[in-house]
Structure 1
Amino acid sequence: MTTHEYDRDAVLGVMNSILEAELAGVVRYTHYSFMVFGFSRIPIVSWLRDQATESLVHAQAVGEHITTLGGHPSLGIGKLLESEQHDIAGILRELLDHERMALGLYRKLLALVEGRDVVIEEYARQMIAAESHDISEVDKMLRAPGALQPFAG
């Protein structure tokens, strides 16, 4: 049951930041899919485009939550700055930063609603799990072959 014993404006603000970040993810992952060259291009492009689709699904989900709460989804888009480093490692480092930022937003959302709104709390937890999984995948891609320790960059 939803109790709404939380700061609705703060929750909507974080949700709109999430929406903007996820939409930026769509653009970012799509852009990087164009910039991959070399022998491993096909599987990496496929993975990047799958991630773009996942970001769009995440944006749609948070937009629906925003309107459920009576809010207005932002038409903004998050930061799209890039280092202009189009080697695979550079792209992955930028994506790791983006995923970590998104994870922080979902954690902020959870902190605002935890114990107060089971629907949004469950949504935030699911998204934290999804973003954490994405971070672990990028981390593994950044490791040297055979390295067991997490990427330290």
Structure 2
Amino acid sequence: MANTGIDQDAVVQVLNHILEAELAGVVRYTHYALMVFGYNRIPIVSWMRGQANESLLHANEAGELITHLGGHPSLGIGPLLETHKHDIGDILRESLEHETQALAEYYSLLELVNGRNVLLEEYARRMCALEETHVGEVRKMLLKPGG
């Protein structure tokens, strides 16, 4: 890859944080899906499992970019907050915190590559948009109907 003026070490470090956060999302959403009970279980479990699958895809994509840059993908997993409260509202608030932290990592990447590397900039912008959507979805899910 041509020298594009990016700090490759810093970019790989942020990509590794993203990889770890997305892997934590796989574990987190898989766990949450197992802990949902009540009338709306089926659609919520389906959504959670979809989030887990999407997190795995995002982790793979971050890992591929790390190796593209000549880096070494982390074997770590990001923080796994567990409040042991399994009300759907509690689960969604934990999920919102996780999504917000992941979004911050993607914005950190965008800062490092903006105007310097088209591949990484387009990736960061796309992922920021996806994570912004996830944050918005979870916020809407936490609203009371008619509120």
**TM > 0.5 between the two?**
yes
Q: Secondary structure at the residue paired with 1:132?
A: helix
Show structure 1 runs of 4+ deviating over 3 A.
none
CA distance in 2, matches of 1:4, 1:67: 17
Task: Tell me the percent identity.
Answer: 63
Q: What is the CA-CA distance between 1:81 and the residue it aligns to?
A: 2.1
Superposed, 1:73-92 pairs within 5 Å as 73-92=73-92
Q: What is the CA-CA distance between 1:3 and the residue it aligns to?
A: 4.3
Write the letter of the residue equivalent to 1:10. Answer: A
CA distance in 1, matches of 2:140, 2:81: 24
In structure 2, runs of 5+ residues without a counterpart are none
Q: Secondary structure at the residue paired with 2:145?
A: coil
Q: Secondary structure at the residue paired with 1:89?
A: helix
Q: What is the CA-CA distance between 1:82 and the residue it aligns to?
A: 1.0
CA distance in 2, matches of 1:4, 1:13: 17
Give deviations 1:47-97, integer Å, cap 9, x for gaps. Answer: 000000000000010100000000000000000121111000000000000
Q: Secondary structure at the residue paired with 2:94?
A: helix
**Normalization by structure 2: what TM-score?**
0.97
Contact in 1 for aligned 2:81/2:94 (Cα 8 Å): no
**Normalization by structure 1: what TM-score?**
0.94
Q: Look up the match of 2:42.
A: 42
Count of residues paired in the alignment: 147
Q: What is the CA-CA distance between 1:4 and the residue it aligns to?
A: 2.5
Give deviations 1:107-131, integer Å, cap 9, x for gaps. Answer: 0000000000010000000000000
Contact in 1 for aligned 2:19/2:59 (Cα 8 Å): yes
In structure 1, runs of 5+ residues without a counterpart are 148-153
Is 1:19 matched up with 2:19? Answer: yes
1:105–1:2 distance in 2 versus 1, CA, 3 Å = farther
Superposed, 1:1-153 pairs within 5 Å as 3-147=3-147
Contact in 2 for aligned 1:2/1:119 (Cα 8 Å): no
Contact in 1 for aligned 2:96/2:135 (Cα 8 Å): yes
Write the letter of the residue equivalent to 2:98. Answer: H
Write the letter of the residue equivalent to 2:134. Answer: D
CA distance in 2, matches of 1:3, 1:132: 30
Q: Secondary structure at the residue paired with 1:82?
A: coil
